[in-house]
């Protein structure tokens, strides 16, 4: 993949770290509250942590958070504001409440399952379920099923399910201030290219495996975060070029593998954030 998708290869390396034994994911998942002190991000979304994280309220104007028992509704205040801004904008546009999925753990760090990223409070999953929905009690939001919007061969979206309203929501996410990129299934990206090719916002909508029922929104390192490490920016253009075809090749269907050599270590400062009282 490297020569054909240089940016994607780098993204893969940063999103799929090998976890260091000194700070197992279980230790980060066991912490129930954020580290005290001013907001501070250390490291990257794929190998990092956060101090002073803020919790997204379980519900608000235009959204309802799901699977709150995971305790993954914590993030940088800029991430929390981005979710609230997106939800309020969606409501003004006539869209139903958004289901908001995982953001991150109270102190970030590696997760025991579900994600290799979401470690620095800058990632959030927004489900692409735009069916009308009433206010649902938090306990009932633990088992809401996800519905794929792409065809089984992932070549494109299922035209019975994906609508222009979905494209509108993805565009709204890509145009939020401070957005680094929005990850969607390559079938969704391909359909967006067919309908909106050349649109400037498509540059930040990037294809990634999975993400057929939700979009993964990532913010850039906020101002005043010198210890935070960003991914390289997406390449110029709308991303509707030959690199998109790679996702339909046999190579793209191979399981993800971490890089060789010694496993990367968590930034040293994360030890103090994990143990802070």
The average pLDDT across 135-143 equals: 96
Per-residue pLDDT at 212: 95
Nearest alpha carbon to residue 241 among 205, 204, 197: 197
Give the number of residues written for the chain.
Answer: 277
Domains in the chain, start-ordered, CATH in brackets?
Answer: 46-253 (3.30.1380.10)
pLDDT recorded at residue 262: 67
Task: Report pTM.
Answer: 0.89
User: What pLDDT score does 230 carry?
Assistant: 96
Q: What is the 3-state secondary structure (H, E, C) of the chain?
A: CCCCCHHHHHHHHHHCCCCCCCCCHHHHHHCCCCCCCCCEEEEECCEEEEECCEECCCEECCEEECCHHHCCEEECHHHHHHHHHHHHHHHHCCCCCEEECCCECCCECCCCCCCCCCCCCCEEEEECCCCCCCCCCHHHHHCCCCCCCECCCCCCECCCCCCHHHHHHHHHHHCCCCEEEEEECHHHHHHHHHHHCCCHHHHHEEECCCCCCEEEEEECCCCCCCCECCCCCCCCCCCCCHHHHHHHCHHHHCCCCCCCCCCCCCCCHHHHHHHCC
Instruction: Give the mean pLDDT of 76-97.
Output: 98
Q: How far apart are alpha carbons 167 and 201 in whole angstroms?
A: 11
Confidence at residue 258, expressed as pLDDT on a 0 to 100 scale: 61
In the three-class reduction of DSSP (H, G, I as helix; E, B as strand; rest coil), residue 167 is classed as helix
pLDDT of 256: 67
Q: What is the pLDDT of residues 8-62, one digit of tens each?
A: 443 443 443 333 434 688 999 999 999 999 999 999 999 999 999 999 999 999 9
198 secondary structure, DSSP code: T
pLDDT tens across 157-216, in order?
A: 999 999 999 999 999 999 999 999 999 999 999 999 999 999 999 999 999 988 999 999
């Amino acid at each position: 993949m490297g020569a054909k998708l240089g940016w994607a290869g780098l993204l893969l390396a940063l999103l799929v770290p090998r976890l260091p034994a000194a700070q197992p994911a279980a230790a980060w998942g066991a912490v129930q509250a954020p580290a005290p002190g001013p907001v501070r991000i250390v490291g990257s979304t794929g190998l990092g942590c956060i101090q002073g994280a803020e919790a997204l309220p379980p519900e608000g104007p235009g959204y309802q958070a799901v699977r709150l028992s995971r305790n993954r509704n914590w993030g940088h205040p800029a991430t929390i504001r981005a979710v609230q801004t997106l939800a309020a904008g969606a409501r003004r546009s006539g869209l139903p409440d958004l289901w908001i999925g995982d953001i991150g753990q109270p102190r970030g760090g590696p997760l025991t399952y579900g994600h290799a990223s979401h470690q620095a409070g800058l990632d959030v999953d927004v489900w692409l379920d735009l069916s009308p929905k009433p206010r649902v009690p938090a306990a009932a939001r633990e088992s809401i099923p996800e519905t794929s919007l792409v065809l089984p061969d992932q070549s494109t979206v299922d035209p019975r399910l994906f609508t222009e309203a979905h494209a509108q929501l993805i565009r709204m996410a890509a145009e939020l201030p401070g957005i680094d990129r929005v990850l969607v299934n390559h079938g969704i990206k391909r359909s967006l290219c067919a309908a909106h090719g050349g649109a400037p916002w498509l540059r930040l909508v990037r294809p990634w495996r999975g993400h057929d029922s939700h979009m993964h929104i990532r913010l850039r390192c906020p101002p005043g975060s010198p210890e935070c490490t960003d991914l390289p920016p997406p390449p110029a253009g709308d991303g509707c070029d030959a690199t998109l075809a790679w996702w339909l090749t046999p190579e793209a269907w191979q399981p993800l593998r971490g890089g060789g050599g010694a496993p990367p270590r968590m930034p040293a400062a994360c030890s103090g954030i994990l143990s802070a009282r």
